[in-house]
Amino acid sequence: MKPTKEQERKPFETLTLCWRLYNAALEQRAMGYRERGHLPSCTAKRTYCRH
């Protein structure tokens, strides 16, 4: 059985979305490091994620 064009495209779209999300998070982390000179502590990450 061959997948339809949509079935072929969907996994690629999902991976592209995950890649963009990862890169955006990585850029935010890098920007925070450049601004503050250090990475956030585990406590700061937990507090940030709750809000």
Domain definitions of the chain by residue range: 5-50
What is the model's pLDDT at position 24? Answer: 95
Specify the pTM: 0.64
More confident residue, 19 or 44: 19
Q: For residue 41, what are its two tokens?
A: 């502590």
What is the model's pLDDT at position 46? Answer: 61
The amino acid present at 27, given as its one-letter code, is E
Let me know if 50 is exposed, middle or buried by CB neighbors in 10 A (0-12, 13-18, 19+): exposed
Q: In this predicted model, what pLDDT tens digit does every residue of 7-42 receive, in sequence order?
A: 999 999 999 999 999 999 999 989 988 888 887 776
Q: For residue 33, what are its two tokens?
A: 């490091």
